[in-house]
Structure 1
């Protein structure tokens, strides 16, 4: 059974095919992808395949992805999850994305806090990593504020629109 996480203003829940349009809206947005290291999604069928990959990844204990839904109006405002999950090594990498109209309202901090707690308490993780473009000031500040420690810089680590970018590597250790 997929774990549903409820916070003060949000419900973090399993993504289904019904969410494909909302996911497409998020991951075709240039502002969202500016620091994501991913090409824009183009169509609903592509998104449905990605949602299926999320389900497969969870079955194989390699990752988990939640949709971020506001309680107030049930709108899907982004995604958050873990990839590169290793049960053996008790580690995973965090990633999240929010639609720009929801930036600056504390949703990212609320969501990341809940997911970190879940990862440590329910997934038995000892290490949660995060890779963030050095230019992504908001995410860099957020992770430090939430207790992540910067471990270093990965040079030319991710490409966006064919351009290599340096990234900061962070960790949260239990």
Structure 2
């Protein structure tokens, strides 16, 4: 059963085909993709297949992707999830994207905090990583604020529109309790 997560203002829920148009709007927006390392999505059929792949990844314990919704409202304001999930090595990488009209309102921090606690408590992760374009000031600041440690820079690690970009690699390690 897909986990639905609540925060004060948000509901993190499974993406469905009903979200396809909003996902397409988000991931075809140059402002959103500027630091995301992905080519723009171009069709509803493409997005519907991606949503099916998210579901398959979750079933196979390789990743999990939530739609971020405002409580009491239809639709989504972004996505968040884990990819590169390894149950054997107890690690995964987090990624998130919000629609521009939802930037600067604290939603990313709220969603990331909830997903981090789910990752450590429910998924039994010991390490959560994040790979972020060095130019993505908002995301770099957010991760540092949430106690992620910058481990280094990956040179020419991601290509956006044929241009190579350096990325910061961050980690958050679960605090062991005795």
Q: Deviations over 1:60-95 (max 9, x none)?
A: 100000000011423310000000000000000000
How does 1:129-168 map onto structure 2 within 5 Å? 129-168=129-168
Q: Which residue of 1 aligns with 2:114?
A: 114
Please give the TM-score of this superposition, normalised by the length of structure 2: 0.97
Contact 2:151 2:171 in 1 (8 A): yes
User: Which consecutive unaligned segments of at least 5 residues does structure 2 have?
Assistant: none
Distance, in Å, in 1 between the alignment partners of 2:156 and 2:97 is: 21
- Report 1:5-44 matches (<5 A): 5-44=5-44
Q: Hey, what does 2:3 align to over in structure 1?
A: 3
| Aligned-CA RMSD value | 0.6
Contact 2:19 2:75 in 1 (8 A): no
Mapping 1:49-88, distance limit 5 Å: 49-88=49-88
Q: Which runs of 5+ in 1 are unaligned?
A: none
Supply the distance in 2 between the matched residues of 1:151 and 1:74 (Cα, whole angstroms). 39
SS in 1 for 2:96: strand
Distance 2:18 2:75 in 1: 12
Number of aligned residues: 174
TM-score (norm 1): 0.99
Question: Cα distance, 1:170 vs. partner?
Answer: 0.2
Q: Does the 8 A contact of 1:9 with 1:72 survive in 2?
A: no
CA contact (8 A) 1:90 1:127 kept: yes
Q: Is the contact between residue 127 and residue 173 of structure 2 (CA under 8 Å) also seen in structure 1?
A: yes
